[in-house]
Amino acid sequence: MDKQSARVRAQEIVSRMTVEEKISQLLYDAPAIERLGIPAYNWWNEACHGVARAGVATVFPQSIGMAATFNPALVYEVADAISTEARAKYNRSVAYGDRGIFKGLTFWAPNINIFRDPRWGRGQETCGEDPFLTSAITAAFIKGLQGDGEFYKATACAKHFAGHSGPERLRHGFNAEISKKDLYETYLPAFYHAVKAGVAGVMGAYNRTNGEPCCASPTLMEILRKNWGFDGYFVSDCGAICDIYEGHHYTDDLVHAAAAALNAGCELNCGDAYLSLVEAYESDLVTEEAITDAAVRLYTIRVLLGEFEEKRPYADTPYSAVSCKAHKELNLRAAEETLVLLENKNGFLPLDPETPRRIAVVGPNAMSVTALEGNYNGHADEYVTVADGIRRVFPRAEITVADGAPLFQDERRRWDGFCDLESEGAAAAAGADVTVLCLGLDRGVEGEDLGYENEFTDYGDRKTTALPACQMKLAEAVCNACENVVVVVMCGSAADLGERVRTHAKAVIHAWYPGALGGLAVARAIAGAFSPSGKLPITFYSADTELPDMKSYDMTGRTYRFDARKPLYPFGYGLSYTRFVYGVPELTGSDKNAVRLAVNVRNDGSVDALEKVQCYARYTDSRTTTPRLQLCAVEPVFLSAGETKRVGLTVDRFWLKAVLQDGSRVDPDGGVRLFVGGMQPDEAAEGLVLPD
C-alpha cells in the first residue's frame, strides 16, 4: 500500500472520531475506541539491538558494537531478524488480547545522535562519532527493520532530534548551543539520511537546541518537514513535553507546553502531557485541524503496519522465529564482527585450542550476563559469558575462574564480601599459563540518566575514560602474577587501561557489549576460529587527555575529524591476524552525485580474513574550516590467504562538501583528495586527487 492510499484510509478512520477521541489517540498508550471497533495501541517499543523489554528475544550486540563492524549489510540482516521476531511476538500478543506496552510494532530506534564525547553514558546506544558511518549504519538498520513489502514489517524511529549527546544530569533543562556549521556538518546529517532512507518516525530530544525545546522547535520542524520532506510521525521523548514547562520554563504551564508541541508538529506524546490538549483546545490554543492532522499522521502509520487489514501482513510469522537457530547464528556472526583487536604483541593470538594449558578467566565481567546485554535490551534464552566461552572453545585446558574485583568499588557495601578480591584474582592468574582478564563496565555504571553521582559516574556519564580504580588495581595484580595476559574489555566507550597494563598485556580485545553470545565470540577470536575485523567507531583517548567541557557542543577539538592530537587508538583502527596490502586506488567513474573508485587488496598472510576497506576524504576551503579527515565509504571484503580482489567503492558527493557558517554545503575550493586503506591515512599520504 502506498503512503497516499494509506493516508486516505487514515483520514476516513479519523473523520469518525470526536475531538476528544482524536486527542486520546495522540498519547503513546492510545486507548481503544470501542464504538468504532478500534483496538488500543501502545506506540512505545524498543529495539536498539533486539526486541527489548518484552521477554525473550535475540539479544544482538549493542549498537556501538554493530557500528564497529563497519558493515551496513550485516546491520541490515540484524534489523531484518529483529523485525521478524517483532512480528512473531506481536502476532501472539494480539492473539491473546495483550496490547500493552512493548508489544507493538513501532520501535523507537535507532539512536543516531553523534557520540561526540567518549564520556557520554548513552553513547553505547549510538553508531559512534562519525556522521558518515552513523548515516550508513542508520540507513541499513531502518531498511532492514521496516522491510520493503507493501506494508511495514515494523517501523523505525530516529532519535533524538536534535543535538542530544549529554550531559545526562542536565538533559531535562539543558540548552545545546550549536552553530549552524556544526549543526549541518555534524549533528544533522544522520537524521537527513534517515529521512532519505524512509524512516517512519523521528523522536524529539529532551534538551533545547539554540533556545527552542526540541519537541516544540519551529526551526527543527522546518528543517525536518519542509526542507527534507519528512512525512512520517514525530514523537516526544518520554516526559519531554512536561520538560517544556517544568525544565525549560519555556511556557507558563503544561497546557501551553502541550499546545506549543502540537502546533510545532509533534504528533505523539510519550507521557501524559497531551491530556492537557482538551483544555488547550477549549481555550483556542490549538485548532481541531491541528489535532486532526496529527491523528491522521499517526493512523497512516497504523494503516501501513496492516493493523486494519482483514488478514494482517506477516500474520504467518511463527512464534518459533523468536531466538531461533538462524538468528543465534547471525547473532554470533555479528558479535564476532564487533570485536576490535587493539593489541597483539608478536602475534601472541590466536592460541591453539588443542594445546593443553592452564587458563585463568579473571575479572568482574568474566561471568557477567549484564555486560553482554548493554542497555535497552531484551532477555535471551541462552547466554555465553567469556568464562563459558573459554570452557567451550578450549576443552583441553584447565580453567580457573575468579572475580578478582567488583565492577565498581562502593565503600558503603564493603560488608558484602565482593570487594578487595585482588588476592583471589592474582592467585588464579599466578597458576595459569594464560590469563584472560575481563574488565569493563555495564549499564549500572554508564547509561541513561542513572540518577546518582560518585567519583566515577555522573548520572550515567563517565568522569574519565579510565576504568574504575578497583579494576585497575586488579589488572596490575594480574600483570604482576602472570606473564601472558589477554585483556578483554566490555563497555560502551573508550577505555584507557593504563601504561602498566597496556605494556604488559600480550593482547587487548575491545568487545563492547557483545550480545548474548558475546562470550563465545570472544573465545573463538582468542582461539583463531576467525580473524578479528572490527574497527573503532570512536576515538580512544588516554584518561589524562583534556577533553572539552561536555556542555559545549562546539566540535573544535572533538573526534578524529577536528582533533589532531595523537590518541591511544584512532577512529577506524583495528588489527587482524593477517596483513592486507593495498594497491593504488583508481578513479573509475564520476558524476554530479557520486565518485566511484576501485582498489586491489591482497591478503598477504596465512589466515583467511575479513577486511573493512575504508575511504577517507581530505579537503580544504578558504571560506571555512574543514575536517582534517572525513570517512566517506566503507566496503567489507573477505580474502582467503594469498588472495587478491579488486574492491569497488562509491563515494556520495554529499560527504565531499565543505560546510559554510550558514550551514550550506559547497564544493571545496581547495580540492579533494581520497585515501583508501584499512584505517586512517597518515599525514604524509598523498592520496588520489579528484579532478575539478
| Residue 551, pLDDT score | 97
User: How far is CA 415 from each of CA 310, 410, 412, 418, 593, rounded to the nearest angstrom?
Assistant: 61, 10, 8, 8, 64
Q: pLDDT digit string (tens) for 167-183?
A: 999 999 999 999 999 99
C-alpha cell at 199: 524512516
Inter-axis angle of helices 72-95 and 325-338, nearest 10? 140
CA angle, residues 92, 95, 98, in degrees to nearest 5: 80
Q: Is residue 496 pLDDT above 50, yes or no?
A: yes
Q: What is the pLDDT of residue 454?
A: 87
Mean pLDDT of 345-368: 97
**Where do the domains of the chain lie, and which CATH numbers do they carry?**
3-315 (3.20.20.300), 330-562 (3.40.50.1700), 580-689 (2.60.40.10)
- How far is C-alpha 318 from the geometric centre of its chain's CA atoms? 28
Residue 20: how many other CB atoms lie within 10 Å: 11
Give the residues across from 213 on adjacent strands.
Answer: 208
The 10s digit of each residue's pLDDT in 371-390 is 999 999 999 999 999 999 99
Which uninterrupted H or E stretch holds 602? strand 594-603
pLDDT of residue 411 exceeding 80, the answer is no
Tell me what pLDDT residue 491 has.
Answer: 98
CA distances from 187 to 67, 101, 162, 165, 218 (A): 17, 31, 7, 10, 17
Q: Which residues, including other chains, have CB under 8 Å from residue 572's CB and lie 6 or more apart?
A: 70, 535, 536, 560, 614, 616, 631, 679, 680
Report the run of H or E that residue 487 belongs to, with start and end: strand 485-490
Average pLDDT value for residue range 74-88: 98
- How far apart, in Å, are the Cα atoms of 23 and each of 85, 111, 158, 281? 31, 28, 24, 10
Residues facing residue 462 across a β-bridge: 457
Model pLDDT, residue 112: 98
Mean pLDDT, range 340-344, rounded to an integer: 98
- Residue 683: per-residue pLDDT: 83
**Per-residue confidence (pLDDT) for residue 606, from 0 to 100:** 97
Grid coordinates belonging to 613:
576497506
Task: Give the pLDDT confidence score for residue 376 in this predicted structure.
Answer: 97
* 3-state per-residue secondary structure call for 433-477: CEEEEEEECCCCCCCCCCCCECCCEECCEECCCECCHHHHHHHHH
β-bridge partners, 201: 157, 233
In tens, the pLDDT along 519-565 reads 999 999 999 999 999 999 999 999 999 999 999 999 999 999 999 99
In the block, which residue shows the cell 588464579?
428
pLDDT of 276 above 70: yes
Instruction: Look at residue 562 in the predicted model and tell me its pLDDT.
Output: 98
pLDDT grade, residue 108 (50/70/90)? very high
Location of C-alpha cell 582478564? 437
Residue 215, C-alpha cell as written in the block: 519537541
Question: pLDDT value at position 684?
Answer: 80
pLDDT at 459 over 60: yes
Query: According to the model, what pLDDT value does residue 455 have?
Result: 86
pLDDT (0 to 100) of residue 692: 80
Q: Specify which residues 674 forms β-bridges with.
A: 617, 688
Smallest CA-to-CA distance from 111 within 154, 141, 71, 74 is with 141
Q: Going along 329-390, which residue ranges are E strands?
A: 340-344, 358-362
Task: Determine the Cα–Cα distance for residues 25 and 32; give it in Å rounded to an integer.
Answer: 9
Report the length, in residues, of the chain. 692
Give residues with Cβ within 8 angstroms of 659, minimum separation 6: 181, 184, 185, 624, 665, 666
For residue 160, is the peptide bond before it cis, meaning its omega torsion is within 30 degrees of 0?
yes
Angle at 319 between CA 317 and CA 323, to 5 degrees: 110
Cβ contact 660:181 at 8 Å: yes
For residue 196, pLDDT beyond 70: yes
Residue 453 pLDDT greater than 70, yes or no: yes
Judged against a pLDDT cut of 90, whether residue 581 lies above it is answered with yes
Residue of 643, 602, 433, 607 lying closest to 528 (CA atoms): 607
Exactly one of 80, 117, 237, 403 is catalytic; which is it? 237
Tell me the pairing of strands 688-689 and 672-677: antiparallel
Distance, in Å, from the CA atom of 242 to the CA atom of 216, rounded to the nearest integer, reads: 11
User: How do residues 127-138 score in pLDDT, each as one tens digit?
Assistant: 999 999 999 999
Can you give the pLDDT at residue 410?
54
Given this model, what pLDDT does residue 412 score? 44
Q: What is the mean pLDDT of the chain?
A: 96
Mark whether 237 is an active-site residue.
yes
Which residues, other chains included, contact 514 with Cβ-Cβ below 8 Å and sequence gap of 6+? Answer: 61, 62, 65, 335, 338, 339, 372, 490, 521, 522
N- to C-terminal Cα distance for the chain? Answer: 44
Counting beta carbons within 10 angstroms of the beta carbon of residue 226, is it exposed (0 to 12), middle (13 to 18) or buried (19 or more)? exposed
User: Is pLDDT of 477 > 50?
Assistant: yes
